[in-house]
Amino acid sequence: MSVLNCSTKLLILEKMLKSHFPESLKVYGAVMNINRGNPFQKEVVVDSWPDFKAVITRRQKEAEVDNLDHYTNAYAVFYKDIRAYRQLLEEHDVINWNQVFQIQGLQSELYDVSKAVANSKQLDVKLTSFKAVQFSPHPTLPNTSSLMGSSPRLTCLSVADADLLNRTWSRGGNEQCLWYIVNLISCFPSVCVRDDKGNPISWSLTDQFSTICHGYTLPEHRRKGYCQLVAFTLARKLQSQGFPSLGNVLDDNMASISLLKSVHAEFLPCRFHRLILTPATFSGQIYL
């Protein structure tokens, strides 16, 4: 096991991951953020270098930790050999098994191997699987002429909006999510539409893996094209900075799936898997 601290090696890794799209996209997004200021205090672990077979991105050991914050305590995984990934999981000091955390990846064997190792350590594992999507590199934006005046207007989120986002996110409603959203807004691109009083009515933001997330429009403002506009604008903002515009959607979210199809988003051949792992010590204390 090796922690890649060298900036040259990290840039080489970023280029190497491109040849393994789309399965490497989660790790690629995290590595891009590390190479551009590392606002989320991440680091990279590989089984070997330069001929790695597995790579994991994780929170830096010196970063402040809340053991209940599975939003921030997140690992992204890509492997060329599932056995190498399992060996990393079993190696001492690669994963912090004493906190609630999540593992994200785009490969089918991720769940079974992660669950097997986690169960041997008496951790509960909850899996959620999504369709993975990517926006066109050159999306044609909807007509924004109606947003050129004073109201409504297209802008970005501020930390003052975090409480509203926490209350409206299906994964939110708790203190850990609130601070996670504050950090996402502070660190990464976001887009929102505001009403004449400056209140957000539709928005989306970017997570620590450069994935578009929490796309939401207040119920009274739906069917006006805001969601499509916000998603396209954020995708183009990410692409202008060299990031992939990756997203995910649940299989039963037919409204979002129809929207994504209407804007010609590409549904990737792999699926996005999110595992939330909980030690017995914290069972019943977290929001999933």
Q: pLDDT tens, 209-218?
A: 999 999 999 9
Name the phi and psi angles at 245, rounded to 5.
-105, 80
pLDDT of 35 strictly over 80? yes
145-159 pLDDT tens trace: 555 455 678 999 999
pLDDT for position 39: 95
Each residue of 92-125: pLDDT tens digit?
Answer: 899 999 999 999 999 999 999 999 999 999 999 9
Residue 192 pLDDT > 80, yes or no?
Answer: yes
pLDDT of residue 286: 59
CB 139 within 8 A of CB 235: yes
Residue 163 and residue 174: Cα distance in Å, rounded? 10
The answer to whether residue 172 scores a pLDDT higher than 70 is yes
Rounded CA gap, 92 and 68, in Å?
21
pLDDT above 60 (res 139): no
- The model's pTM is 0.92
Asked if the model's pLDDT at residue 143 lies above 60, the reply is: no
Cα 83 from chain centre: 25
